[in-house]
Amino acid sequence: MPNMKRHETVQVRVGHVPVGGGAPIVVQSMTNTNTADAEATAAQVVALCQAGSELVRVTVNTREAARAVGELVKRVRDAGCRVPIIGDFHYNGHKLLADHPECARSLDKYRINPGNVGVGARRDEHFAAICKVAVDNDKAIRIGVNIGSLNQDLVMRMMQKNASRGGKASDEVMAECMIMSALESTELALDCGVPKDRIILSCKSSTPRQLIGVYRELARRTEQPLHLGLTEAGMGMRGLVWSSVAMGILLDEGIGDTIRVSLTPRVGGDRCDEVYAAQELLQALGLRSFTPSITACPGCGRTTSTVFQRLAEDVEAYVRAKMPEWRRRFEGVESLTLAVMGCVVNGPGESKAANIGISLPGAGEEPSCPVYIDGKKVTTLSGTPEQLGAAFREIIDAYVSTKYQRRATHDPGADGRKIPEGA
Ligand code: SF4
């Protein structure tokens, strides 16, 4: 585990999940279904939970969506999944929550965007109305500031102040606006009776440097738990790299209590990718352990066959598919390490360093694949790629079922947190 000291925050419970106050950093995600379609949204919530999301947010943008929330939460619970569900409100949250008490009761937390909750005096009135519903229902809130929807009154005020005093670039002023919006809204929520241990903050920006600066300053100025996320991170590689660099730096400084990696999925892509990305980020920093880690070499001219790439992919997909079951049954299975290597140069060395490793033959090498378990060579596999895959999966299964202690269903997980049902 890393030595870094975590930024101290009060602890907020979202449903049964603690956030901040020294709790493990929480992975969260957001659905992209139409919330009014309770069946489809419930199915995606369960899928995200099974992938390892510990909190799931759904948009609540219309009366139809608000009406569907009760049913979708019931469907999720009926599926045996206890993951806390958060409502994401913009513009009309005060109305939707007041007009749909079942929606207000069913959700575990409300996200309020202080930049679009209303204009002028209406803004505070609407913000207070949401806070009242949160207090009446004993729910947590997230004050979720976003660079793209900042409170324009505040921006004008800060720009005028800067113009008269001069000095700061506009992106610095915008960063300060985000921080001010979060802090002033926290004061307002406290004045409305929301307890301190019911408020989480976020200030999302779309550029890593700005995000890092804003969160460092927030961490200096507040004790509320911080939700990290780079907004509009983008697709594929860009989204992953930009999110990882921004959040990785902050997490390594001990800043951040819950994270979401906002990836734009490809059409038909898997929404759960954002959960896997968040888990990998926390695991890479040694902050949490979610899933066995698989070391695979990048390949080079020494291995012209694609067998090792296919095997590495096959092993990754297999482990991911098995993890929901393994996590429930075997204590500590998250710490399993695997290696799938492409030739004799680093293959045996990396394979010996893993719990289970296989070193495939490079070009011109003898067509055999030594397998190592906990540093010792135990067998040599050969055959077609399919046969190799099947034999290696069997070895993994045997190792998991003999090396990790079986636990009773719903025992605390390795990190001490109750394992959500259905996860
Ligand atoms: S292990 Fe072999 S195949 Fe893989 S990158 Fe290293 S030299 Fe290339």
Nearest to 142 by CA among 89, 70, 96, 76: 89
State the pLDDT confidence band at 409, using cuts at 50, 70 and 90: low
CB 289 within 8 A of CB 332: no
- Residues flanking ligand 1, CB < 6 Å: 297-300, 302-303, 341-343, 345-347, 362
Residues of the chain with CATH 3.30.413.10: 293-403
Give the separation between CA 224 and CA 243, rounded to whole angstroms: 22
Residue with tokens 């009761």: 105
Measured from the Cα of 362, ligand 1's closest atom is 3
Q: Which two tokens stand for residue 404?
A: 């990790």
pLDDT of residue 418 exceeding 60: no
State the pLDDT confidence band at 417, using cuts at 50, 70 and 90: very low
The radius of gyration of the chain from alpha carbons, rounded to an integer in Å, stands at 24
Give the separation between CA 188 and CA 181, rounded to whole angstroms: 10
Centre of ligand 1 from the C-alpha of residue 237, in Å: 23
pLDDT of residue 153 exceeding 60: yes
Q: Are strands 26-30 and 376-381 parallel, antiparallel or unpaired?
A: unpaired
Cα end-to-end distance, the chain, whole Å: 24
Nearest-CA residue for ligand 1 atom 5 is: 299
Query: Each residue of 88-122: pLDDT tens digit?
Result: 999 999 999 999 999 999 999 999 999 999 888 89
Centre of ligand 1 from the C-alpha of residue 390, in Å: 23
Measured from the Cα of 298, ligand 1's closest atom is 5
pLDDT of residue 414 exceeding 50: no
pLDDT of residue 302 exceeding 90: yes
Nearest to 66 by CA among 90, 35, 94: 35
| pLDDT, mean over the chain | 92
Centre of ligand 1 from the C-alpha of residue 360, in Å: 10
CB 191 within 8 A of CB 127: no
Q: E strands, 77-198, where?
A: 85-89, 109-112, 140-146
Nearest to 399 by CA among 316, 335, 308: 335
State the pLDDT confidence band at 234, using cuts at 50, 70 and 90: confident
Residues of the chain with CATH 3.20.20.20: 12-284
Q: Which residues, including other chains, have CB under 8 Å from residue 290's CB and lie 6 or more apart?
A: 27, 52, 279, 282, 283, 334
pLDDT score for 324:
86
pLDDT score for 3:
52
Degrees to nearest 5, angle at CA 212 with 206 and 217: 120
Q: Does domain 12-284 have CATH number 3.90.420.10?
A: no
Residue with tokens 């020294």: 22
Helices (H), 232-300: 236-252, 273-284
Q: Does domain 293-403 have CATH number 3.30.413.10?
A: yes
Measured from the Cα of 344, ligand 1's closest atom is 2
Query: Each residue of 7-45: pLDDT tens digit?
Result: 999 999 999 999 999 999 999 999 999 999 999 999 999
Tell me which of 409 and 17 has the higher pLDDT: 17
